[in-house]
Amino acid sequence: MAEETLPGTADDGPDSIVLHVDMDCFYAACERLREPELEGEPVVVGMGYEPGEGHGAVATASYEAREFGVESAQPISTALERLPRIDDLGPDDDPAAAGHYRTVDLDFYKSVAADVKAILHDCADVVREVSIDEAYLDVTDRTAWDLAASGDRTLAEGFARYVKQRIAREVGVAASIGVAPNMSTAKIASDFDKPDGLVVVRPGEVRSFLAPIPVEEVHGVGPVTARKLGSLGIETAGDLAEADASALEAEFGSRGRELHERARGYDDRTVTPTGRPKSLSRESAFTEPTDDVEDKREVVRALAADVADRARSRGAMYRTIGIKVVVPPFDINTRATSLSGPVDDPELVESVALDLLDAEFAETTVRKLGVRVSKLSFADADQSSLDGWESAGSGGADGDGRVSDETEASAAADGDDEPPAGREAPSRGGQSSLVEFD
Ligand code: TTP
Ligand code: MG
């Protein structure tokens, strides 16, 4: 099948095995840990439900409470209308139509999350923690897509089941896991059969698995894009995969082409560990290879600004500034300049990157350009300030006390919603591949 020749799978050697782990109704599951009598009951975790409060939102609802129409981010007043608080019932009210409300206790949820994450790190060498209850694991080296001796299940499925069971037994909360050859498919798979789900999408099945998925579940499609796609008659990932890539590009710019690729099951992001990166980089492909020196310089300038900006927002200083130049078809050249000491200097990133480009590649026809800063050092010794709340400004946390450890780089790559302005391809005709280069 054509799918098997897509880059990101066959081209990069053996298919990766990516697990996406997402805990079920996580805050409610935590509340049940310390109050086992809430098991099987409608539980709402949020703020502002106490008499006289009335302001606040639902952080999460147990699946039993979701049956009543209660959901995350809903105003608490709406939740209370749909599911009255059990403590407020009068003698004649039906307790079966009422719920248990609990106040967000983030410290407790973080401690439970830490126990879950410890298991995940034990099960995989590369773990990318995305939020308090969500992580990607690259387990390519720990298991295989081969079938287990006993039947038609893959070894990867058995491995994922083992991860799920360890979390359930050792921590006492339920996870849903998606297993797939790439990150975006694994994420969709983990959500596919919640709660307590285990969905395995084998390398040859990615496209057929994605086909019926509503388009808004494709990475990078937010409500606005979904509406626009809908008006073009594109409702599912399958419709998107079959749409004309250049028409999508005309409508959505460089992102259109990328969404098309994602819908076809192509996602060449690798699972990179959370924490302090060794380097920060960004690259961008041209729609058509170009030798136009100003086009190339413009892209490098935009990439340099983006990378320097990210370094600054993460409190990183760098001692090396480099570029990557991809000459058609796939000839990859990297050049770098080392500085005498660590700096945080966006102008220097731009000028060094441009010098490296001009010195050797002024005439060259290029397909893709990248800029990287490396040999990073962090002024702030407190890791948590880098990976925790600081990302709130880039969409990592919302007002309901939700924690996200997502870094800015991967927040853009994950694109759960419309990318903020300026996150896109840096130049006319440039296609931002949203990947980091090594
Ligand atoms: P999610 O994984 O989105 O939700 P969930 O774990 O509650 O439910 P699901 O089974 O569908 O995965 O978010 C994890 C936690 O983050 C959630 O338990 C509460 C918190 N959160 C908020 O505080 N506000 C929000 O709007 C959302 C979506 C989540
Ligand atoms: Mg969850």
For residue 406, what pLDDT is reported? 28
Nearest CA to ligand 1 atom 24: 59
User: How far is the centre of ligand 2, averaged over its atoms, from the C-alpha of 180 (Å)?
Assistant: 18
Nearest ligand, CA 131: 1
For residue 315, what pLDDT is reported? 82
Question: Confidence band (pLDDT; 50, 70, 90) for 13?
Answer: low
Residue to mutate, 26, 102, 164, ligand 1, most ligand atoms under 8 Å from C-beta: 26
Nearest CA to ligand 1 atom 28: 72
Q: What does the alpha-carbon distance between residue 141 and residue 331 come to, in Å, rounded to a whole number?
A: 28
Place of tokens 């410890």: 118
Q: Name which of 25-39, 115-129, 379-393 the model is least confident about.
A: 379-393
User: How far is the centre of ligand 2, averaged over its atoms, from the C-alpha of 27 (Å)?
Assistant: 9
Q: Which atom of ligand 1 lies nearest, measured to the CA of 73?
A: 26
Q: What does the alpha-carbon distance between residue 390 and residue 194 come to, in Å, rounded to a whole number?
A: 30
Question: Confidence band (pLDDT; 50, 70, 90) for 3?
Answer: very low
For residue 253, what pLDDT is reported? 84
Tell which wins on pLDDT, 430 or 162. Answer: 162
Residue ranges lining ligand 1, Cβ < 6 Å = 22-27, 59-60, 72-73, 132-134, 194-195, 398, 400-402
Q: Report which of 159, 147, 153, 157 is spatially closest to residue 123, judged by C-alpha positions.
A: 159
Q: Which structure tokens are listed for 296?
A: 């190339």
Question: Confidence band (pLDDT; 50, 70, 90) for 393?
Answer: very low
Residue to mutate, 72, 112, 136, 406, ligand 1, most ligand atoms under 8 Å from C-beta: 72
Q: Which residues contact 225 (CB under 8 A, 6 or more apart)?
A: 252, 255, 259, 418
For residue 398, what pLDDT is reported? 30
Q: Which structure tokens are listed for 42?
A: 């409608």
Q: Which structure tokens are listed for 102?
A: 């609990």
User: How far is the centre of ligand 2, averaged over its atoms, from the C-alpha of 65 (Å)?
Assistant: 15
Evaluate if residue 392 carries a pLDDT over 50: no
Q: Are 371 and 426 in contact (CB under 8 A)?
A: no
User: How far is the centre of ligand 2, averaged over its atoms, from the C-alpha of 53 (Å)?
Assistant: 27
Q: What are the CA-CA distances from residue 47 to residues 28, 44, 86, 185, 186 (Å)? A: 13, 10, 16, 33, 32
pLDDT tens for each residue of 123-166: 998 899 999 999 999 999 999 999 998 888 999 999 999 999 99
Q: Name which of 260-269, 309-318, 411-420 the model is least confident about.
A: 411-420
| DSSP β-bridge partners for residue 426 | none
Evaluate if residue 370 carries a pLDDT over 80: yes
Active site residues: 134
Neighbours of 372 (CB within 10 A): 25
Residue to mutate, 21, 27, 30, 60, ligand 1, most ligand atoms under 8 Å from C-beta: 60
Nearest CA to ligand 1 atom 15: 26
Evaluate if residue 55 carries a pLDDT over 60: yes
Percentage, residues of the chain above pLDDT 90: 66
Give the mean model confidence (pLDDT) for residues 406-427: 30
Evaluate if residue 414 carries a pLDDT over 50: no
Evaluate if residue 98 carries a pLDDT over 90: yes
Nearest ligand, CA 57: 1
For residue 285, what pLDDT is reported? 87
Question: Confidence band (pLDDT; 50, 70, 90) for 73?
Answer: very high
Q: What does the alpha-carbon distance between residue 110 and residue 105 come to, in Å, rounded to a whole number?
A: 9
Q: In the 8-state DSSP scheme, what is residue 351?
A: H
Question: Confidence band (pLDDT; 50, 70, 90) for 422?
Answer: very low
pLDDT tens for each residue of 244-262: 999 999 998 888 988 999 9
pTM of the model: 0.68
Q: Which structure tokens are listed for 280?
A: 């920060």
Evaluate if residue 235 carries a pLDDT over 70: yes
Q: Which atom of ligand 1 lies nearest, measured to the CA of 27?
A: 18
Average pLDDT of the chain is 84
User: How far is the centre of ligand 1, averaged over its atoms, from the C-alpha of 60 (Å)?
Assistant: 5
Q: Which residues contact 422 (CB under 8 A, 6 or more apart)?
A: none
For residue 403, what pLDDT is reported? 35
Evaluate if residue 386 carries a pLDDT over 60: no
For residue 380, what pLDDT is reported? 55
Q: Which structure tokens are listed for 288?
A: 């058509």
Q: Name which of 11-20, 225-234, 335-344 the model is least confident about.
A: 11-20
